[in-house]
Chains A and B, each alone.
Chain A
Amino acid sequence: MRLRTLVLREIFERRSQLLTSFLAILLGITVIVSIKNISHYSEMAVAREMDSLGANVLVLPKSATLQDYYAADMQGETIPEEYVTTLAMSDLAGLDNISPKLSLPVELGGKTFTLTGILPKSEFQAKAAWQGAGIFSRPIGCGASVGMMGSDDKKTLARKRVIETLEDNEVLVGADVAATLGLKDADKLDVLGKTFSVTAVLPQTGTVDDSRIFAHLHVVQDLSHKGPVINAIEVVGCCQEISKGLVEKINHLLPDAKVVTVAQIAASQINVNRMMANLSLMFLVIIVFVGGASIANYMYANVFERRREIGTLMALGANSGLVLRIFLLKALILGLAGGIGGYVLGTILAVTLGPKLAGVVVLPMPLLALLAVGISVGLALAASYFPARRAARLDPCATFQEV
């Protein structure tokens, strides 16, 4: 006979009475775990989406629109290149990367492509689609995608070389440009009367970048005869800082430019996440009140029902501490069972329903087991404490028939 035996035997003997409380806590934890699990993967999907967009804040000329930018940023308006320096020299937090661009339409082989001037290193940092191998990985929490890690070494080296050695006579060509013009590495390419050497053919990205020819920004400026101007500055801003008003701060710094965030592209996903977070909070409140009340009610009834048994234990030499431990151990077992069961059920629900509800693939999160068990055990112990204390203070005279 051990304390555990005593408690477990009682639980199994009267399991039907315990069922309601167990179900209340089990279902509450199930819902919390499934919502947390789905919203985690949904948030990751948003982060990936933001990564795929590369920059998440754009500095554009006043008259330009987002549509202009996504149509290869070839709007006629320009902004001075010195804005880049202004941003770089500012003390704004959360500016992970700044990438100025100037784009010109060019006719090659009977098709129109885009000649885009970039400042190499920063341009590549901004483009998540080209990041690879974590060379330019962004800080965790700012949308960095772990899925980007460990890509092909050869490509990584190629990109690194390109980034560091992009000279005035060098260009990088997008996959569509290379396919149309039959270009490969080290080929020559004449653009606007200047001969360039193709340093690398970039992998397919499925974006407008596949139709671009990248050259050094200052060379493109010379070819455009527009002087030291740019069409856009792509800013990779830390998501947390964006939510804290980074866009407004940049706008304040550059009042003559238009500063927009591209977060609205992932707006529906963000809305789903917000709804999930609210639901999660709501269920937490429900489980605390309904689950807690159910457990407390059950425990009080259990103490009342067992007062003769408690009195007998006291007559046999049990002290108040032991009686308290009997009821708290029961609450602990209830909490553990509810927490573990809720985690398992919640995870199954999340993995099954996640793709349908949030459109994302959901995988089990072992860390949520700690959260589930923590909430469940904490709640069961808190709700049982006062009934357990009442049991410990019971008058053992109830043991005797006549007083």
Chain B
Amino acid sequence: MLRMENVSKTYRHRGHVVKALDGATLHIAGGDFVSVVGPSGSGKSTLLLMLGGMLSPSDGRVLLEAASVYDLSPSERAKMRREKVGFVFQTFNLVPYLSALENVQVPLFLAKMGEKAQQDRATALLERVGLADRLDHKPGELSVGQQQRVALARMLANDPAVILADEPTGNLDPDTSQQIIGFLEEFNAEGKTIVMVTHDPRAAKRAKRTLRLLDGAITCQSAGEQAGWQPDSAVA
């Protein structure tokens, strides 16, 4: 499903070269649930951005299904994100002036779905995450847990094959975090491939396997709780 082949990313920052990702190679099969852990600045989000077609590598290739993501044109890449990738953000990134319903409608609008169909689908998705009574609420009128659930509904809107979650529980209390991870497990059980960057060991353990990054390099992969949690093992 997702593949990185010897991918590196370097930035120039005030005259210094910073290596955000250093020769990363990995393969994530369809239906996998991978958590990515590591200290701040280790390159976790860079890896996620590259998998999502948002940040081109300095070296190497990123493939989604059989397509080399960065050999596509920008508009083809946008189409790929629209149809195959769903993002979940730590700060939810809901559009503040739109209601919950309208926020979920955004990806459907981008996919050029008719207005009535947009409303029906968005309503159904918000019902699924337990927000049927919050359709007309703006993000500022919702709790953080409810906002993240709106973001989950929005992510599901175009039924993506791949879910890329960047610290989805980072701003949430433990109970709400468990609820969100529960939703991700549910989506994974439906066949979606999930890559989740997290600092939370308990959330990481809920994935099928964990990648550990250090200074831009994948240092180890380990099986998660679902497969029986084990300490760090061999590097890919």
- A-side residues, CB < 8 A to B, are 1-3, 5-6, 9-10, 12-14, 308-309, 311-322, 396-397, 399-403
Contact = CB atoms under 8 A, between A and B. Distances in A.
26 contacts: A1-B98, A1-B105, A1-B115, A2-B109, A3-B109, A6-B95, A6-B106, A9-B98, A14-B97, A309-B93, A309-B96, A311-B93, A312-B89, A312-B95, A313-B106, A313-B110, A316-B82, A316-B154, A319-B79, A397-B54, A397-B55, A399-B87, A400-B48, A402-B44, A402-B45, A402-B167
Interface of B: 20, 40-41, 44-46, 48-49, 52, 54-55, 74-75, 78-79, 81-83, 87, 89-91, 93, 95-98, 102, 105-111, 115, 118, 154, 158, 166-167, 170
**Which of A312, A320, A400, A403 counts the most chain B CB atoms within 10 A?**
A400
Contacts of A13: 96-97
B114 to A, nearest CB: 10
Nearest to B102: A1
**Which of A5, A317, A321 counts the most chain B CB atoms within 10 A?**
A317
Nearest to B76: A319
Given A400-B166, A401-B45, A318 B110 contact: yes
A402 B81 CA distance: 20
Contacts of B108: 1
Nearest to A320: B74
B49 A397 contact: yes
Contacts of B83: 317
A308 B109 contact: no
Contact of A317 (B45, B79, B96): B79
Given A399-B89, A403-B49, A317 B97 contact: no
B166 A401 contact: yes
Contacts of B170: 401
Given A317-B81, A401-B166, A403-B45, 5 more contacts: A14-B97, A314-B81, A320-B75, A397-B55, A399-B87
Contact of B106 (A14, A316, A320, A400): A316
A13 B154 CA distance: 21
A319 B79 CA distance: 8
Given A312-B95, A316-B110, A322-B110, A401 B167 contact: yes
Contacts of A320: 74-75
A312 B93 contact: yes
B13 to A, nearest CB: 11
Contacts of A313: 106, 110
A99 B170 CA distance: 95
A314 B89 contact: no
B95 A2 contact: no
Contact of A402 (B41, B74, B115, B118): B41
A402 B93 contact: no
Contact of A1 (B52, B106, B158): B106
A400 B89 contact: yes
A403 B40 CA distance: 9
Contacts of A315: 52, 54, 81, 87, 93
> Which 9 pairs from chain A and chain B are nearest by CB?
A317-B82, A13-B97, A1-B105, A319-B78, A1-B109, A312-B93, A402-B45, A315-B87, A317-B81
Contacts of B44: 402
A315 B83 CA distance: 11
Contact of A400 (B49, B105, B115): B49
**Which of B83, B107, B118, B158 counts the most chain A CB atoms within 10 A?**
B107
A175 to B, nearest CB: 73
B95 A309 contact: yes
Contacts of B158: 317
A354 B90 CA distance: 61
Nearest to B55: A397
A93 B44 CA distance: 83
Contacts of B93: 308-309, 311-312, 315, 399
A316 B81 contact: yes
A308 B44 CA distance: 19
A322 B45 CA distance: 25
A219 B154 CA distance: 99
Contacts of B41: 402
B20 A403 contact: yes
Contacts of B40: 402
Nearest to A322: B110
A317 B55 contact: no
**Which of B90, B102, B109 counts the most chain A CB atoms within 10 A?**
B109
A396 B54 contact: yes
A11 to B, nearest CB: 9
**Which of B55, B83, B97, B167 counts the most chain A CB atoms within 10 A?**
B97
A403 B154 CA distance: 23
B45 A319 contact: no
**Which of B78, B91, B107 counts the most chain A CB atoms within 10 A?**
B78
Contacts of B115: 1-2
B45 A316 contact: no
A226 B40 CA distance: 114
A391 B167 CA distance: 26
A318 B45 contact: no
A140 B95 CA distance: 58
B118 to A, nearest CB: 6
Contacts of A317: 78-79, 81-83, 107, 110-111, 158
A10 B54 CA distance: 25
Contacts of A322: 110
B67 to A, nearest CB: 15
Contacts of A311: 93
A319 to B, nearest CB: 4
